[in-house]
Amino acid sequence: MPTPSKNLGKLPPYLFAEIDRKIDEAKKQGVDIISLGVGDPDLPTPKPIVDELLTAAADPSTHNYPPYHGTQEFRETACKWMKDRFGVEVDANTEALSLIGSKEGLAHTIVAYIEPGDVVLCPSPGYPVYNNYTLLMGGEVYTFPLLADNDFLPDLTTIPDDIAKRAKLLFLNYPNNPTGAIAPESFIQEAVAFCKKHDILLCHDNAYSEMTFDGYRAPSFLSVPGAKEVCVEYFSLSKMYNMTGWRVGFAVGNATGIKTLGTVKNNTDSGVFKAIQRASVSGLLRSDELTKDLNKIYGARRDLFVAGLKKLGWNFSPSAATFYLWIPVPTGMTSVDFVNLMLEKCGVVVPPGTGYGPEGEGFFRVALTVSEKRLQEVLDRMEKNGVTFSALAKQPANAG
């Protein structure tokens, strides 16, 4: 066999390998494992979307190649949704593109722009695609930290000028995976100004725009004046309507950015199955109603789990968005120590913060993708087995 590209060797090691091995072992011993690990909705896709797929799939006109950039109907509906939801005007013909899931669009944007010597600005902790696809293209990653002290927003002023000069892409993601953090408008303005100043394409991954609580409504970055001059925004139906397996999303924003991404796609994939695009249209047209129902469910789970953690000694307030909780591990422990303890003592799987970058140290992530009953079971097991903040936290050795 020929040797694979040396860029493959640059990918970080798979942090969950050791945890996966322990899960397999525990399962073999008959342990009832509860996984709060994956950001994959446990509930089915809403019925109107499934019904439309069944009808559309039976229509032979959906069976041939779709237009690679999306059907006219899909793009127009996505743009209408942008207008109704955010007040953002985007042109369906020049500023919108269907995606085979937003992950595909994020990765292909990196293919479209990055060659050796180019820098991509990536958050840590962050969604791994930004970092890893840059490495696959032979580009250079510059990581900026998302720290609790700064509400998990980057301090863009710390990025050195010579790095900013070589940077072509900045990846941001608010509401954020894994921290749940949200971005105030003042920060979005700052990010837009930074990208204008340094001629950088601002790639905003808005996969969780609809998953919000307590009356908070997440903005589109494109709603900030002037953003369209530098920004492409990626939306995904995956988390919006429990459609992770369907593989559909869209990119909207700067026409040159969209066209450049489209050139790579045109030479790579052949678009989204037309029946899935039709079903997606039926979802987008009743978006508020569908997401309201889902957020009620996630919100109840979130309230239950956060209240339970408080009783176990955690002093922590969740953010107003995403189905993730980014929770500090007891003081004095590492993320991996705590995650191992959860698995060994409670049979509960949670990813360590460091799975999303070194700056995730000190945290673990919970995905609220199991029922309230199972979440209560997790809390009960933690209490019963002494896996509580109160019992485990140690003052750091050099405190005070």
Ligand X SMILES: *Cc1c(COP(=O)(O)O)cnc(C)c1O
128 scored as a contact of ligand X (CB under 6 A): no
Within 8 A by CB and 6+ apart from 208, the residues are: 175, 176, 177, 218, 239, 321, 322
238 lines the binding site for ligand X (CB under 6 A): yes
205 binds ligand X (CB under 6 A): yes
Residues 94 and 195: their CA atoms lie apart, in Å, by 21
Q: Return the structure tokens found at 132.
A: 């890893």
Shortest Cβ 246–ligand X spacing (Å)? 9
| Binding region for ligand X (CB under 6 A) out of 211-219, 235-243, 270-278, 376-384 | 235-243
Instruction: Specify the stretch interacting with ligand X by CB under 6 A; choose among 149-157, 236-244, 359-367, 389-397.
Output: 236-244
**Residue 55 phi, psi dihedral angles, 5° rounding:** -65, -45
* Contact of 393 with 332, CB cutoff 8 Å: yes
What separation, in Å, do the N-terminal and C-terminal C-alpha atoms of the chain show? 59
We find the least distance from the C-beta atom of residue 304 to ligand X, in angstroms, to be 23
Tell me if 369 contacts ligand X by CB under 6 A.
no
Closer Cβ to ligand X, 125 or 139, answer by number: 125
Asked if 173 touches ligand X (CB under 6 A), the answer is yes
366 belongs to the binding site for ligand X (CB under 6 A): no
39 contacts ligand X (rule: CB under 6 A) = yes
Query: Helix (H, G, I), strand (E, B), or coil: what is residue 177?
Result: coil
**What's CA 129's distance to the chain center, in Å?**
10
Query: Is the CB of residue 153 less than 8 Å from the CB of residue 359?
Result: no
Residues 231, 235: Cα–Cα separation, whole Å: 13
Q: In the complex, what is the shortest distance from the CB of residue 285 to ligand X, in angstroms, rounded to a whole number?
A: 19
Q: Which of 70, 101, 125, 139 binds ligand X (CB under 6 A)?
A: 101
Q: For residues 85 and 218, what is the distance between their CA atoms, to the nearest angstrom? A: 10
Which one, 66 or 330, has the nearer CB to ligand X? Answer: 66
Strand 201-205 relative to strand 140-145: parallel, antiparallel, unpaired?
Answer: unpaired
Q: Report yes or no: 246 and 276 within 8 Å, Cβ to Cβ.
A: yes
- The 316-345 contact track toward ligand X, x by CB under 6 A, reads ------------------------------
What is the closest distance, in whole angstroms, from the C-beta atom of residue 100 to ligand X in the complex?
A: 8
**Binding range to ligand X, per CB under 6 A, among 64-72, 77-85, 233-241, 341-349:** 233-241
Q: Amino acid identity of 58? A: A
Q: How far is the CB of 14 from ligand X (least distance, A)?
A: 18
Residue with smaller CB distance to ligand X, 71 or 392: 71
Q: Does 277 bind ligand X (CB under 6 A)?
A: no
Parallel/antiparallel/unpaired status of strands 119-124 and 140-145: parallel
Q: Is 283 in the site for ligand X (CB under 6 A)?
A: no
Which DSSP string corresponds to 97-135? EEESSHHHHHHHHHHHH--TT-EEEEEES--HHHHHHHH
Kindly state whether residue 108 participates in binding ligand X, applying the rule CB under 6 A: no
Out of 41, 46, 139, 249, the residue judged to bind ligand X by CB under 6 A? 249
Per rule CB under 6 A, is residue 210 in the interface with ligand X?
Answer: no
**Residue numbers at the binding site for ligand X (CB under 6 A):** 39, 101-103, 127, 173, 177, 205, 207, 236, 238-239, 244, 249
